[in-house]
Amino acid sequence: MRMALATPPVLGERRRLFVAAAPGFGKSWLVRSWLADQRVTWAGAGFDPEAVEDWLVVDDLPALDVAAARTLAGRIDALPPAVRVILVSRAPWPGRLPADSAALDAHDLALTEPAVLRLLSAEYGVDDPDVAGAVHRLTAGWPSLVHLAGRHLRGGDLASLCAPGTALDAFVAEQVVEHLPVPSRRLLRRLAELGTACEDLAGPRAHRTLRLLAHTGVVVPAAAPAGTYGMAPMPHWLRPVPALAAVVTRREPLSEPTHLRLHTDTAHWYTERRAWGPAARSRWSAGDRAGTSALLREHGTAIVAAGGAEQVIEAYTGLADTDRELRLLCGEALAVTGRLDEALAELTPLLAGRSTVEAGLAWRLGMVYYARAEHRAAFEALERGRIDGADTADEAFLLAWTATVHWSVGNGEACQEHAHRALHAASAAGDPRALAAAHVALALRAALAGDRAGNVEQYTKALAHAEAARDAVQAARIRANLVSQLLEEARYPEALAGSAEAVAAAEAAGNATALSVALVNRAEALARLGRLDEAERCGERALAISQRAGSGKAAYALTVLGDVRARRGQRSMARAAYEEAVRAADADGVRQCFVPALAGLARLVAADDPAAARVHAEKAVSHGSGPLATRALLAVGWVAVAAGDRAAATEAADRAEHSARLHRDRAGLAEALELRAGATDRPSARRSALVEAARTWRTTGARLDADRVAHQLGLLPGASAEERLAARVARGALEAAGVALGTGDVAVPPANLAIRVLGRFEVILNEVPVPSSAWRSRKARDLLRILVARRGRRVAREELAALLWPDDDDDLRVAHRLSVALSTLRSVLDPERHLPADHYVFAAPAALAADTAHLDIDLDTFLGEAEVGHRLHEQGQPAEAREVLAAAERRYAGDVFEDEPYDDWAVPVREEARATYLRVTRMLARLAAERNATDEALGYLLKILARDPYDESCHREVTELLELAGRHGEAKRARARYEAAMRELGRPAVAAG
């Protein structure tokens, strides 16, 4: 069984470790794996002190009371000081642990979601991250439950995982529930019914039992229940492991009186805390239909706002007296959860053919049509709403939603007018929810005008009002929109962090529209930061949400998916996504997405269909104003580059750069600089633009974009050695991320001649190794080896002659031989004679040199990567340093000319490369140790010892790492190898510390 903890915790001076968790957490298995190489006594609580060796493991320790625990602790204290003790139990230690003890509970042993994915993939062939995520949610990482799920998925699905007769059902019933004490079992049944609870809700008499269930992993930390947004924070919200709760609820249902009493008490508890949604749900579960209806009528809007839309829908569905007021409420709840067709089915009959309707009905209908991206219908619905000047909250919402729809179609003046009217009405009404909506409308107007500061200011005010009103639905919308603003300013790391909060907020609020927006934003941030797989999954999830809702806002998700697939070179899939986005956005004027989709499509087809690309780009410009103009102008420029129209491309670059600076769009500015590089044929201007673009991309954190520009810089004629190295590193990173190279590159193609000297010597021409027979002369081959070993430095002809023909004193004959060898060498490297004679090997009257600018030499790349990696580490960038150094370590296939080790002239460069490799590998080991990646660190250290078995400091590091990890048997063997190596050198081994 694969576990969360491969090694035990560091005990330090403490003598005992207490491990407590429910059955199936692999406690005993884990301890056995830790102590495999130790002298261990396995015993029960009545162990014989005389028989104990280095370690005592008391396994399957029963639940103890305080007196029994004190007695056991005394017996352990009487053991010799060198003995260490591990106690393994299904129940926590009663009271406080002895002072010299460490403890692990179920939460330490549970598998994380990535670990669940690795386990399911390795042992059960389940590679889908979404399936692994669902298994983790169902099992909370309980190891045995994860294994049972993996076996079940070989022939079943997750929906039937907990069904009667399954292995998981039997395990939970027979191994877990049956062995619980009666109070724990009783509380578990109540918790399974409630779903989520805290100590205060469970009641004071249940506190100790609840903590016991938490320590053993039967209940796990949970988010606050739906509909409790803004409620005074409760410590330690908990829920039973969902798979466990499913089995318990079915096998041991509560009696009817107990069920009713539980929900009645729960409803009262929530009502006291003004958590109306959970209170309504509990009243409904207690059979109090009248009380439920009264709560909905009095607090229904607050319930929806606090994240309880599903609770409203559930209660409404079971009520018989669903009048106009309740239908209005249900329509709003359905709209929030993304069930837009059902919302219209509830709300539309309330129009009853009237030309004007109350503001509350009009804004809710407008909200539904806006969510569907049907703007004409939204305007029609909103215009039917009566505004009597009463300045009610409903009138403020009507005006705010009208402003929002005007923003979506790009009508700035109308947006501004209605937003200000909404603020006036909301202020007069004194309603914080309405004030939040009004400030959101003003924020949208500021965004449309390119006023970044105003946008943030208005959203900040809106969020404060939403939180004061306990309005989770609007708060989720605001958080998602704030992330959009961060993306527009190319603050990608901040946007990624904010998107996680926005997704969680939208999920908690049940706000489907905000969730889709948050997921699209997260996908864009992930893509910019180089995490394309995750970006695609987020985009697909957002698309599924929009499509289920029947919303034209699916265009947003389609556009981000088009962007990701275009980066990967998946041109057909990207084109399909862009074209579908254009159709969805154009159907009713989703302008905020229409322009980016058209721009993406234009750039994608620029080379294959220039006429269509030009039409798409010009249409994007005609619809693009404000911040959207930058992306449209960039598309125009790249289409012109593809068509060879440098003047038009330069003009578009100028306009795009101006637009980007105006709107504080750093990504747009960097792309405008790249466009400028692509539009010019002057190498100096191209280099200048790319250097500034690379610097700009790096400040945004957009790793793939920075790598793309670094790759182009290194391919420019006259690129420095450092730029060529950076280009090779960037190319590797881009390929590792799955990015297609070549699209949009403005530089010359790379050299087609590669020389490999690390390990065996090999020349590769146009990706094909040059056969030995092609050389015709061993001396021509040796000449190249010597020149490569000198790494571009000139080598005097006299020195070459002495190295190649040491026994020939005839200077004329040797000079002729050298000329023949050089001619042969050039014919091998350029057999078609397409290149100038000095392209690969420079020849002067007195010396020869390899032109490393035209050669891809693995030694130069390796040494350069090592230098860059160490520089990054010195600059405080450990993650980047690790990436570059790991690439260098992988590149080192062996010592220089390892297949021909006896040439004295090769010794200096061989020793230099070897020393560099050892330094790189040692640095990687230290970086891994700093991250507590013990196995990775050990792997690097053992590679060092494989090349230098007498490296004393390396031997000591291996031993210390193993000791710290608690792998004492391995540490003992490592110590023996160290001492043996030192004996061979006649040196004493340093005493273990």
The DSSP line for 840-908 is TEEE-SSEEEE-GGG-EEHHHHHHHHHHHHHHHHHTT-HHHHHHHHHHHHHH--SSBTTTSTT-GGGHH
Q: Phi, psi at residue 56, to the nearest 5°?
A: -115, 125
- 233 vs 394, more confident: 394
Confidence of residue 834 (pLDDT cuts 50, 70, 90): confident
**Whose structure tokens read 């182009």?**
712
Task: Please give the pLDDT value at position 732.
Answer: 74
Cβ burial of 853 (10 Å; 0-12, 13-18, 19+) is middle
Residue 42 in 3-state DSSP?
strand
Architecture of domain 753-854: Orthogonal Bundle (1.10)
- Amino acid letter at 636? V
CA 472 – CA 307 distance, rounded (Å): 6
CA distance to 336, 540, 543, 562, 575, per residue, from 558 (Å): 22, 8, 7, 6, 10
From 267-271, 607-611, 871-875, 953-957, the region with the lowest mean pLDDT: 871-875
Confidence of residue 748 (pLDDT cuts 50, 70, 90): very low
Q: Is the pLDDT of residue 864 over 90?
A: no
Query: By the 8 A CB rule, do 90 and 63 touch?
Result: yes
HSE of 562, CA atoms in CB hemisphere, 13 A: 26
Beta strand residue intervals within 2-122, DSSP E: 16-20, 40-43, 55-61, 84-89, 101-104
Domain ranges, ordered by start, for the chain:
16-109, 113-161, 255-353, 369-467, 471-546, 575-586+593-680, 682-736, 753-854
The pair of three-digit structure tokens given for residue 481, joined into one six-digit string: 């929109």
Confidence of residue 3 (pLDDT cuts 50, 70, 90): very low
Which residues lie below 8 Å from residue 326, measured CB to CB, with a gap of 6+? 293, 296, 297, 300, 316, 319
Confidence of residue 871 (pLDDT cuts 50, 70, 90): confident
Residues 476, 478, 479: CA angle, nearest 5 degrees? 65
Query: By the 8 A CB rule, do 288 and 267 touch?
Result: yes
Nearest to 56 by CA among 73, 75, 46, 43: 43
Confidence of residue 726 (pLDDT cuts 50, 70, 90): confident
- 255-353 CATH choice from 1.25.40, 1.20.1070, 1.10.287, 1.20.140: 1.25.40
DSSP string, 723-768: HHHHHHHHHHHHHHTTPPSSTT--SPPPPSEEEE-BSS-EEEETTE
Q: Is the pLDDT of residue 877 over 80?
A: no
Q: What superfamily in CATH does domain 16-109 come from? A: P-loop containing nucleotide triphosphate hydrolases (3.40.50.300)
CA 125 – CA 759 distance, rounded (Å): 37
Residues 454, 458, 462: CA angle, nearest 5 degrees? 170
Q: Is the pLDDT of residue 606 over 70?
A: yes
Cβ burial of 127 (10 Å; 0-12, 13-18, 19+) is exposed
CA 265 – CA 991 distance, rounded (Å): 67
CATH topology of domain 369-467: Four Helix Bundle (Hemerythrin (Met), subunit A) (1.20.120)
* Domain 471-546 falls under CATH 2.40.37.10: no
Query: By the 8 A CB rule, do 716 and 683 touch?
Result: yes
**Whose structure tokens read 């520009």?**
709
Q: Is the pLDDT of residue 715 over 70?
A: yes
Percent of the chain exceeding pLDDT 70 equals 96
User: Long-range contacts made by residues 417-420, C-beta under 8 angstroms, separation at least 24?
Assistant: 419/444, 419/445
Which residues lie below 8 Å from residue 780, measured CB to CB, with a gap of 6+? 820, 821, 822, 824, 825, 828
The pair of three-digit structure tokens given for residue 11, joined into one six-digit string: 């005990």
Query: By the 8 A CB rule, do 740 and 532 touch?
Result: no
Task: Please give the pLDDT value at position 804.
Answer: 92
Task: Please give the pLDDT value at position 13.
Answer: 67
Q: Is the pLDDT of residue 836 over 90?
A: no
Confidence of residue 972 (pLDDT cuts 50, 70, 90): confident
Query: By the 8 A CB rule, do 216 and 20 touch?
Result: yes
Over residues 640-652, mean pLDDT: 94
Task: Please give the pLDDT value at position 388.
Answer: 87
Confidence of residue 612 (pLDDT cuts 50, 70, 90): very high
Q: Is the pLDDT of residue 134 over 90?
A: yes
Q: Phi, psi at residue 788, to the nearest 5°?
A: -65, -40
Confidence of residue 922 (pLDDT cuts 50, 70, 90): very high
Over residues 49-56, mean pLDDT: 86
Burial 686-697 (b: 16+ CB within 10 A, else e): bbebbebbbebb
Confidence of residue 744 (pLDDT cuts 50, 70, 90): very low
How far does CA 603 lie from the centroid of its chain? 27
If you count DSSP H runs as helices and E runs as strands, how many of each does the chain have, helices first?
Answer: 46, 14
Nearest to 308 by CA among 342, 283, 341: 283
Average pLDDT, the chain: 89
Per residue in 188-212, pLDDT (tens digit) is 999 999 999 999 999 889 999 999 9
Task: Please give the pLDDT value at position 993.
Answer: 54
- Amino acid letter at 207? H
Per residue in 654-703, pLDDT (tens digit) is 999 999 998 889 999 999 999 999 999 888 889 999 999 999 999 998 98
Q: Is the pLDDT of residue 742 over 70?
A: no
Q: Is the pLDDT of residue 874 over 70?
A: yes
Q: Is the pLDDT of residue 746 over 80?
A: no
Residue 203 in 3-state DSSP?
coil
Confidence of residue 743 (pLDDT cuts 50, 70, 90): very low
Confidence of residue 1 (pLDDT cuts 50, 70, 90): very low
Task: Please give the pLDDT value at position 967.
Answer: 74
From 256-270, 738-752, 876-890, the region with the lowest mean pLDDT: 738-752
Domain pair 255-353 / 471-546, same fold: yes
Per residue in 206-254, pLDDT (tens digit) is 999 999 999 999 999 998 998 899 888 777 899 999 999 999 999 999 9
Per residue in 68-124, pLDDT (tens digit) is 999 999 898 889 888 889 999 999 999 888 888 888 999 989 999 988 998 999 889
DSSP string, 592-649: HHHHHHHHHHHHHHTTT-HHHHHHHHHHHHHH--TTHHHHHHHHHHHHHHHHT-HHHH
CA 7 – CA 362 distance, rounded (Å): 62
Task: Please give the pLDDT value at position 721.
Answer: 67
